[in-house]
Amino acid sequence: MSETNAESDRVEVVFSSEEIANRIDAIATQIAEQKLDRLLVIAILKGSFVFAADLIRALYKVGLQPEVDFISLSSYRKGTKSSGKVEILRDIEMDVKGRNVLLVDDILESGRTLAFAKDLVTARGAQKVLTCVLLNKPVERAVQVEADFAAFECPNVFVVGYGMDLAHRFRELPFVGHLQNRS
């Protein structure tokens, strides 16, 4: 199931580089409107690293100077299915107490990952916690959580590229794509 071969590698573009860049600029403007002082951006690795890199530079363009940290979370994903348990693989280094935090993730699907991260930084005393995702999948949430900012509504298919992988592949694609022979 998680194996890929040459024939399965045809990737259809779902969101192009240009569409992504435009949406990120729009979201950066919305974030700037929130007037959050000492903003700390926390990217949820690995999937959000490309999105977060582009987002922080878009934030710079609208006049913000965010600090940046990372957390690596795993939802025990095997192939394309999530098992439901979230584990911290690498924790945030910075103290979030009293900070305005923007959590950045690639996809909001069951909600478990984002809810876990939100609960964690809230429990550690963050002043305000906002969430930003590249893609919002229109599925029933296992945990009630919605993103404050979402670049796109995503078709309910498995997507890769722009940081997102299937079995460690395809992260380098500059667009969000769908592997044509997979649901």
112 binds, among ligand IMP, Mg ion, none (CB under 5 to 8 A by kind): ligand IMP
Considering just the CA atoms, what is the radius of gyration of the chain in Å?
16
What is the C-alpha to C-alpha distance for residues 157 and 180, in angstroms, rounded to an integer? 10
- Which one among 20, 36, 43, 112 touches ligand IMP, defined by CB under 6 A? 112
- Contact between 159 and ligand IMP by CB under 6 A: the answer reads yes
Least distance from ligand IMP to the Cβ atom of residue 98, Å: 27
The span from the first CA to the last CA of the chain, in angstroms, equals: 12
Q: CB of 18: closest distance to ligand IMP in angstroms?
A: 21
Residue of minimal Cβ distance to Mg ion: 47
Q: Does 111 bind ligand IMP (CB under 6 A)?
A: yes
Q: Residues 6 or more apart from 119 whose CB is under 8 A from it?
A: none
- Contacted by 82, from Mg ion, ligand IMP, none: CB < 5 to 8 Å by type: ligand IMP
Q: Is 47 in the site for Mg ion (CB under 5 A)?
A: yes
**How far apart are the C-alpha atoms of 150 and 152, rounded to whole Å?**
6
Residue pair 19/82 in contact by the 8 Å Cβ criterion:
no
CB of 38 to ligand IMP, least distance (A): 26
The nearest distance, CB 79 to ligand IMP, in angstroms, is: 11
* 75 scored as a contact of ligand IMP (CB under 6 A): yes
Residue from 109, 132, 151, 161 touching ligand IMP (CB under 6 A): that is: 109
Closest CA to 108 of 146, 75, 79: 146
Determine, following the binding rule CB under 6 A, whether residue 104 of this chain makes contact with ligand IMP: no
Q: Are the C-beta atoms of residues 150 and 138 closer than 8 Å to each other?
A: no
CA distances from 114 to 11, 66, 120, 126, 139 (A): 27, 20, 10, 15, 15
Tokens 């569409």, residue? Answer: 19
Q: Which residues bind Mg ion (CB under 5 A)?
A: 47
List of residues contacting ligand IMP (CB under 6 A):
47, 75, 82, 105-114, 158-159, 164
